[in-house]
C-alpha cells in the first residue's frame, strides 16, 4: 500500500503559545511525531500541513515535506479534516499522487512507543478497515453532567457492580487515525465505513494541552530514553560512518545504463554540519566504490574513503593523522562488514535496523533506522555529551 502520513501543525495556539514547536526533551514538539512517522516502515511519505514559516522550516529540518495551508483553513475554527483534504487535493493536483491510505498524526501526542504506528497500520490492514482510531481503555464508573447535575453514564449507580465487573470503555485519544481517502472525501470525516480501533496505554495517550502536560511528557521520554554512556560520547573526536545502510536506507535505484541512486537524509547532513562546527572530524569509510558516495560527502564537506577492504587499517591511519587514540573514535555500522571496525573503535554504534550481529557488537543502538535520521541522532548524543549548546534537532 502507498501510505501517506499527514501531520497538521498550524501556527496559532492559545493554551501554549507556539505549541507545535515548543521545546520538549530538547527539541521542538513537532519533531517527535515526524521522527515516529519516518521510523514506520510502511509509511511512504511524511507531510506537515502548516500556515507558519517557522513551523515549515522545523518540519523540513526533520525530513518531512511541507504543504502550506491557506489562511481560510488555518484559524481556531478550522477543522483538521479541512487541512487533511487540502493536502490530498494539493498533492493530487501537483503530482497526480493519490495514496491508498492516510495516517493522520497529531503533533500534540508525542508519546508513542517504537512500532506503535506500524502496529496500528497492521490492525487497519488486518481488519480490512476503511478507517481506524487509537484509544485507551478505561475500566470504572463514568458520570456525565446533565442539566447541571451529575448522572451515572456507564453504569446504574443504584445497582453498583464490583469494579472488576464494571464496563470496559475506551476513550479516543487523538494520537493515530488512519483512513482511506474516499472516507474523508465522502463523509468529510476522518472516520467512516468499516471502523477499527487500535488500543494504546493511558500514558501513551497523553495530549499536550498545558504546561503540566509538557513536564509529564518530558519525564516519560526521559524514562524511556535508551541508555547511553555519556563519558564515552564526550570523548569522541572522530565519527566514522559506513555509507550504505547508515547514511542511506540501504536501498538502491538502478537505471538502464547502470547508474545508481540512493536515498540520503537531509537531517543527517544537518547533524554532521553541527558536529563539524563543534570541531569534530567526520569521515565515511565504505567498502563500496561509487561516485554517489563521493558526491554526497563532497556536498557535506567530509572526508570519504572508498573501496576499503580493511576498515580497521583505515581507522588506525585516521587516528594517527589526527593524533588521537582509538578510544576517541566512534564508528557507526549496520552489517557484518562493519564488525571489525566496530570492535576496534572506542565506541561502537549500530543503527536501529542493523543486522543482528552489528547490534550485538554495539554498545549503543539508535532509535532511528539507517538513512532516516540515525546519524543525526548520534550527532545529538555527542553534542549533548560534550555540553554543546548546538542541537542536531
Residues with catalytic roles: 160
CA–CA separation, 250 and 264 (whole Å): 10
- 10 Å CB burial of residue 327 (0-12, 13-18, 19+) is middle
Q: Say which residues have a Cβ less than 8 Å from residue 114's Cβ, sequence separation at least 6.
A: 39, 367
- Among residues 93, 116, 113, 94, the alpha carbon closest in space to that of 103 is found at 116
d(CA 99, CA 1) in angstroms, rounded, equals 8
Q: What's the CA gap between 152 and 146, in Å, rounded?
A: 10
Distance between CA atoms of residues 281 and 328, nearest Å: 11
Q: Residue 109 and residue 80: Cα distance in Å, rounded?
A: 15
- Dihedrals phi, psi of 124, to nearest 5 degrees: -60, -45
- Write the CB contacts of 50 (distance below 8 Å, at least 6 apart in sequence): 8, 9, 10, 11, 20, 56, 59, 66, 67, 68, 69
> Which residues have CB under 8 Å from 306's CB, separation 6+?
286, 288, 289, 290, 293, 294
Amino acid at each position: 500500500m502507498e501510505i501517506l502520513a499527514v501531520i497538521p501543525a498550524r501556527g496559532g495556539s492559545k493554551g501554549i503559545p507556539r505549541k507545535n514547536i515548543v521545546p520538549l526533551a530538547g527539541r521542538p514538539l513537532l519533531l517527535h511525531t515526524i521522527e515516529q512517522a519516518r521510523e514506520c516502515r510502511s509509511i511512504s511519505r511524511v507531510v506537515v500541513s502548516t500556515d507558519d514559516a517557522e513551523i515549515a522550516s522545523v518540519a523540513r529540518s526533520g525530513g518531512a515535506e511541507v504543504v502550506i495551508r491557506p489562511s481560510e483553513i488555518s484559524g481556531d475554527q478550522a477543522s483538521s479534516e479541512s487541512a487533511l483534504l487540502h493536502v490530498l487535493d494539493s498533492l493530487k493536483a501537483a503530482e497526480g499522487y493519490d495514496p491508498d491510505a492516510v495516517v493522520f498524526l497529531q503533533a500534540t501526542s508525542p508519546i508513542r512507543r517504537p512500532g506503535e504506528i506500524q502496529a496500528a497500520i497492521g490492525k487497519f490492514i488486518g481488519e480490512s478497515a476503511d478507517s481506524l482510531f487509537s484509544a485507551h481503555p478505561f475500566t470504572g464508573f463514568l458520570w456525565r453532567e446533565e442539566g447541571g447535575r451529575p448522572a451515572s453514564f456507564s453504569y446504574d449507580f443504584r445497582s453498583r457492580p464490583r469494579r472488576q465487573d464494571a464496563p470496559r470503555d475506551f476513550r479516543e485519544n487523538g494520537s493515530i487515525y488512519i483512513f482511506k481517502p474516499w472516507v474523508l472525501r465522502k463523509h468529510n470525516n476522518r472516520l467512516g465505513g468499516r471502523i477499527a480501533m487500535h488500543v494504546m496505554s493511558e500514558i501513551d495517550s497523553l495530549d499536550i494541552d498545558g504546561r503540566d502536560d509538557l513536564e509529564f511528557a518530558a519525564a516519560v521520554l526521559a524514562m524511556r530514553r535508551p541508555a547511553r554512556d555519556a563519558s564515552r560520547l564526550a570523548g569522541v573526536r572522530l565519527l566514522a560512518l559506513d555509507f550504505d545502510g547508515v547514511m542511506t536506507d540501504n536501498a538502491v535505484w538502478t537505471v538502464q545504463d547502470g547508474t545508481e541512486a540512493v536515498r540520503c537524509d537531509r537531517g543527517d547532513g544537518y547533524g554532521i554540519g553541527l558536529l563539524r562546527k563543534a570541531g569534530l572530524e567526520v569521515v565515511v569509510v565504505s567498502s563500496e566504490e561509487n561516485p554517489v558516495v563521493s558526491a554526497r560527502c563532497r556536498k557535506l564537506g567530509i572526508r570519504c574513503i572508498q573501496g576499503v577492504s580493511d576498515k580497521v587499517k583505515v581507522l588506525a591511519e585516521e587516528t594517527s593523522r589526527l593524533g588521537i587514540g582509538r578510544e576517541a573514535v566512534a564508528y557507526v555500522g549496520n552489517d557484518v562488514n562493519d564488525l571489525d571496525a566496530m570492535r576496534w573503535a572506542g565506541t561502537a554504534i549500530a543503527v536501529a535496523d542493523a543486522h543482528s550481529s552489528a547490534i550485538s557488537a554495539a554498545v549503543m543502538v539508535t532509535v532511528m533506522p539507517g538513512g532516516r535520521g540515525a546519524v543525526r541522532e548520534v550527532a545529538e548524543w555527542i553534542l549533548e555529551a560534550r555540553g554543546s549548546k548546538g542541537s542536531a534537532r
